[in-house]
Amino acid sequence: MERKDFLRSLGAGAAFALTFPCLQGCSKDDINGNKVEQPTGVDFTVDLTSQEAQALVPNGGFILKNLVVIAKNFEGEYVAATQVCSHESYDQVRFVNQNGGIFYCDVHGSRFDQDGTPLNQVDSKTAKPIKIYNTELNGSILRVFE
Ligand code: FES
């Protein structure tokens, strides 16, 4: 049986599904992460001597905890921002080594300064800041809070 005969035997719906398998799902499947609600009442601590905090030893490192990105910026200060992007609420905000250290969401490429200010506009939607949290260091215990 030739290809066109095979497709014809399947019917139009199946032939469409075989021909255009990505039409509805691929762009979403290509996205890492999930759409999530902004956390509220953020107030927790991180023991900087613990295993979970090892990525915070070098400047520029970051960890994720409770939907918050906790980073040690390139000046050695601790900064914290929500993981929830202000663009479409994906939980993909991370700290990256660009422009001296910024928060970045790889879903559509939104970039934010360390104070949460948007640095670009990825589409016609108005770019909004992301939530930034306070940090307070007491010995080796880092508190992250609103
Ligand atoms: S959801 Fe982050 S850039 Fe679109």
Ligand 1, pocket-test mutation among 102, 107, 124, most atoms within 8 A of CB: 107
What spacing in Å lies between the alpha carbon of 36 and ligand 1's midpoint? Answer: 12
Domain check: are 26 and 71 in the same one? no
What sign for the dihedral angle of Cα 139, 144, 145, 146? positive
Domain check: are 91 and 125 in the same one? yes
| pLDDT(30) > 80 | no
Taking the chain, what is the end-to-end CA distance rounded to the nearest angstrom? 66
What spacing in Å lies between the alpha carbon of 123 and ligand 1's midpoint? Answer: 10
Domain check: are 56 and 19 in the same one? no
pLDDT tens digit sequence for 68-124: 999 999 999 999 999 999 999 999 999 999 999 999 999 999 999 999 999 998 887
Q: Which residue has the higher pLDDT, 1 or 20?
A: 1
pLDDT tens digit sequence for 51-69: 999 999 999 999 999 999 9
Q: Give the pTM.
A: 0.79
What spacing in Å lies between the alpha carbon of 87 and ligand 1's midpoint? Answer: 5
Domain that holds residue 17: 1-30
Domain check: are 2 and 57 in the same one? no
Q: Is 108 in the pocket of ligand 1 (CB under 6 A)?
A: yes
